């Protein structure tokens, strides 16, 4: 369930937005002032804040940045308030939602913020390889043990984590997810452990971290392999002692949290290479669930495609249509690599493009299977690169990929095939040499 904080009056169009979000499974909290909103984000926390432009959106964003609270903010207001909308986005709001609200936009906003499109939807599975994973998940869901979920990017690790929580004894308590690769180290530390008033210059009040927010529930540490060794040590302490030390001292706070960790790396290899603490590895790897890439579970292709066809018909306000036999045949025959998102995008496009009563093969655009490395270089015209240094080409590629991903480092690193840490170091070098690098969500590194 995603947690939405609304800053503004619930009477009128904002109330309607709240009800729509609730209808999509979001838990709603409301605040009337910027200080009240900040107090909520310090305490229970939220996955997304929706702030009416009648309030000082910039002040809210400044407060969040100063207090190192990484909560995305979407501004909202009447359609005519375009000047306020531009101002809010300039100040760092992620987006502007015109009021009265549109159900599809609310759905898209929640999906972008928390990756949730449906109420605790169970993973789609028909292939024996995936059914075996779900059977094992069912066995361990009600236990308290940590679970390490491994699998290539986009194989459904977060979907499985939400499913484990929903099937656990903690289901009525919060599920909190944090992507350890998406934030710079200091921000990640504040996010995880919270801080006491005065811990740093912007820390005007005590703030609860994700461990405290997830108390009684489940905390998913996504992309744990990217975590800095110093923070790994702090996580280990929380697991061992069952208490959190907020930044800036004070007494430790007891927490009762089940930890799920996800990674697309070979964590044991990271341990051997000295980049991941062995003791933490063994604490997390009590139970391991490995998600097979899509190429290893062909029988899931069509059930997943049908699931996405329904999902994107609903999300776009279109009638649900069946995939025609020829469309099904072309999807089933395609050599999908591993990432379920590729199939999801192809079906999403098909839902938008199809014109008939069924979704036909003409609406399905499949990208050809990746070429062998030599072929790729030839196709991009390697001659055009001759005469330039490797550093130059690398820099252009990295910056170009970052702007393509709107500054999203996780996605950019994924596309570039390098670790987030390596990407961050490159970005720091480029910035130090005076280059403008696309920023992520308005936070500086
Ligand atoms: N079994 C499944 N059933 C339904 N949807 C799925 C399933 N597996 C993946 N998806 C969808 O595919 C997308 C990727 O899934 P998810 O975010 O869980 O993957 P991930 O392994 O956590 O990705 P990343 O490595 O990028 O963090 C999501 O939109 C999700 O809804």
Cα(194) to centroid(ligand 1), Å: 28
Q: Is the pLDDT of residue 108 over 90?
A: no
Sorting pLDDT into bands at 50, 70 and 90, what band is 25? confident
Residue 440's pLDDT is 63
The total domain count for the chain is 4
Q: What is the mean pLDDT of residues 61-81?
A: 91
List, edge to edge, every strand of the sheet that includes 258-263. Answer: 175-179, 218-222, 258-263, 147-150, 287-290
Letter string b/e over residues 184-196, b meaning 16 or more CB atoms within 10 A of that residue's CB: beebbbbbbbbbb
Is the domain of 283 the same as that of 317?
Answer: no
Residue 121's pLDDT is 67
Ligand 1, pocket-test mutation among 158, 178, 221, 291, most atoms within 8 A of CB: 158
Q: Is the pLDDT of residue 231 over 90?
A: yes
| Cβ count within 10 A of residue 252 | 14
Phi, psi of 406 (to 5 degrees): 50, 40
The pTM for the full model equals 0.72
Atom of ligand 1 nearest to the CA of 262: 22
Residue 119's pLDDT is 46
List all residues whose CB is within 6 A of at least one atom of ligand 1.
Answer: 115, 123-125, 151, 153-159, 222, 262, 264, 307, 340-341, 344
Cα(440) to centroid(ligand 1), Å: 22
- Domain at 80, CATH number: 3.40.50.2300
Q: What is the mean pLDDT of residues 419-424?
A: 82
Q: Is the pLDDT of residue 261 over 90?
A: yes
Calpha distance 43→41 (Å, rounded): 5
Residue 149's pLDDT is 97
Residue 48's pLDDT is 92
Calpha distance 148→129 (Å, rounded): 18
126, HSE (Cβ side, Cα atoms, 13 Å) = 10
Q: What is the mean pLDDT of residues 275-281?
A: 95
Among protein residues, the one whose CA lies closest to atom 30 of ligand 1: 156
Cα(115) to centroid(ligand 1), Å: 9
Is the domain of 132 the same as that of 226?
Answer: yes
Q: Is the pLDDT of residue 383 over 70?
A: no
- Domain at 343, CATH number: 1.10.8.60
120 in a structural domain: no
183 in a structural domain: yes
Cα(151) to centroid(ligand 1), Å: 10
Atom of ligand 1 nearest to the CA of 264: 25
Cα(344) to centroid(ligand 1), Å: 9
Which helix (H) or strand (E) segment holds residue 126: the answer is none
| Cβ count within 10 A of residue 335 | 11
Q: Over the stretch 185-196, which tens digit does the pLDDT of each residue have? A: 888 999 999 999
Ligand 1, pocket-test mutation among 340, 347, 417, most atoms within 8 A of CB: 340
Greater model confidence, 386 or 84 = 84
Q: Over the stretch 117-151, which tens digit does the pLDDT of each residue have? A: 444 568 999 999 999 999 999 999 999 999 999 99
Beta-strand (E) ranges in 345-434? none
Output the DSSP codes for 28-45: EEEESSHHHHHHHHHTT-
Is the domain of 174 the same as that of 250?
Answer: yes
Give yes or no for a contact between 75 and 97, defined as CB atoms under 8 angstroms apart: yes
Q: Is the pLDDT of residue 372 over 70?
A: no
Cα(73) to centroid(ligand 1), Å: 24
Is the domain of 281 the same as that of 191?
Answer: yes
437 in a structural domain: no
Residue 443's pLDDT is 38
Helix, coil or strand: residue 101: coil
173 in a structural domain: yes
Sorting pLDDT into bands at 50, 70 and 90, what band is 380? very low
Q: Is the pLDDT of residue 445 over 80?
A: no
Question: Which of residues 114, 137, 157 is at a domain's end?
Answer: 114
Question: Which of residues 240, 268, 292 is at a domain's end?
Answer: 292
Give yes or no for a contact between 46 and 114, defined as CB atoms under 8 angstroms apart: no
Is the domain of 101 the same as that of 206?
Answer: no
Percent of the chain with pLDDT over 90: 56
Residue 379's pLDDT is 41
440 in a structural domain: no
Q: Which of 244, 272, 277 is nearest to 261 (CA)?
A: 277
Cα(155) to centroid(ligand 1), Å: 5
Is the domain of 135 the same as that of 273?
Answer: yes
Sorting pLDDT into bands at 50, 70 and 90, what band is 370? low
Residues 6+ apart with CB under 8 A from 35: none
Phi, psi of 277 (to 5 degrees): -65, 130
Is the domain of 56 the same as that of 36?
Answer: yes
Is the domain of 299 the same as that of 286?
Answer: no
- Domain at 192, CATH number: 3.40.50.300
Is the domain of 74 the same as that of 140?
Answer: no
Q: Identify the weakest region by mean pLDDT among 45-49, 89-93, 94-98, 119-123.
A: 119-123
Burial group, residue 415, by CB count within 10 angstroms (0-12, 13-18, 19+) = middle
Is the domain of 150 the same as that of 254?
Answer: yes
If you search the block for the tokens 């938008």, which residue do you land on? Answer: 352
Which range has highest mean pLDDT (147-151, 394-398, 400-404)?
A: 147-151
Atom of ligand 1 nearest to the CA of 125: 1
Is the domain of 169 the same as that of 218?
Answer: yes
49 Rama class: left (phi>0) / alpha (psi -120 to 50) / beta: beta
53 in a structural domain: yes
Among protein residues, the one whose CA lies closest to atom 16 of ligand 1: 156
438 in a structural domain: no
121 in a structural domain: no
Q: Identify the weakest region by mean pLDDT among 81-85, 167-171, 398-402.
A: 398-402
Output the DSSP codes for 207-259: B--HHHHTTTSEEEEETGGG--HHHHHHHHHHHHHSEE--BT----EE---EE
Is the domain of 204 the same as that of 268?
Answer: yes
Greater model confidence, 397 or 441 = 397
Ligand 1, pocket-test mutation among 131, 151, 159, 166, most atoms within 8 A of CB: 159
- pLDDT, the chain, mean: 87
Q: Is the pLDDT of residue 384 over 80?
A: no
Question: Which of residues 363, 384, 410 is at a domain's end?
Answer: 363
Range of the domain at 377: 373-432
Calpha distance 207→68 (Å, rounded): 10
Cα(351) to centroid(ligand 1), Å: 19
If you search the block for the tokens 């055009």, which residue do you land on? Answer: 384
């Amino acid at each position: 369930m995603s947690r939405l904080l609304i800053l503004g009056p619930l009477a009128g169009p904002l109330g309607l937005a709240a009800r729509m979000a609730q209808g999509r499974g979001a838990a709603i909290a409301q605040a009337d002032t910027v200080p009240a909103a900040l107090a909520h984000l310090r305490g229970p926390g939220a996955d997304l804040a929706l702030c009416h432009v009648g309030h000082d959106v910039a002040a809210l964003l400044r407060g969040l940045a100063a207090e190192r609270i990484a909560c995305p903010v979407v501004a909202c207001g009447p359609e005519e308030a375009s000047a306020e909308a531009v101002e809010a986005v300039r100040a760092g709001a992620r987006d502007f939602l015109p009021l009265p609200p549109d159900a599809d936009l609310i759905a898209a906003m929640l999906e972008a913020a928390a990756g949730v499109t449906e109420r605790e939807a169970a993973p789609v599975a028909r292939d024996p390889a995936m059914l075996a994973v779900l059977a094992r998940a069912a066995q361990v869901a009600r236990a308290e043990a940590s679970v390490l979920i491994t699998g290539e990017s986009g194989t459904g690790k977060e979907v499985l984590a939400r499913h484990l929580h929903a099937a656990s004894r903690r289901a009525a308590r919060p599920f909190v997810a944090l992507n350890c690769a998406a934030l710079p180290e200091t921000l990640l530390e504040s996010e995880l452990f919270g801080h006491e008033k005065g811990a740093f210059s912007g820390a005007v009040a005590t703030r609860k971290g994700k461990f405290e927010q997830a108390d009684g529930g489940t905390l998913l540490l996504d992309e744990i392999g990217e975590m800095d060794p110093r923070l790994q040590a702090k996580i280990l302490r929380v697991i061992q002692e069952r208490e959190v030390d907020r930044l800036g001292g004070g007494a430790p706070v007891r927490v009762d949290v089940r930890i799920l960790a996800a990674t697309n790396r070979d964590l044991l290899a990271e341990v051997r290479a000295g980049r991941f603490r062995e003791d933490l590895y063994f604490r997390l790897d009590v139970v391991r669930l490995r998600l097979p890439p899509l190429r290893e579970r062909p029988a899931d292709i069509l059930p997943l495609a049908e699931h996405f066809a329904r999902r994107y018909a609903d999300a776009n306000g279109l009638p649900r249509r069946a995939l025609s036999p020829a469309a099904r045949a072309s999807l089933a025959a395609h050599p999908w690599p591993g990432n379920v998102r590729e199939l999801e995008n192809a079906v999403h496009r098909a839902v938008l493009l199809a014109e008939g009563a069924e979704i036909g093969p003409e609406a399905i655009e499949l990208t050809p299977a990746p070429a062998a490395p030599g072929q790729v270089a030839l196709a991009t015209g390697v001659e055009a690169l001759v005469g330039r240094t490797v550093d130059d080409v690398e820099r252009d590629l990295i910056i170009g990929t970052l702007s393509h991903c709107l500054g999203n480092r996780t996605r950019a690193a994924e596309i570039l095939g390098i670790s987030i840490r390596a990407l961050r170091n490159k970005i720091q070098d480029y910035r130090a040499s005076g280059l403008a690098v696309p920023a992520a969500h308005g936070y500086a590194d």
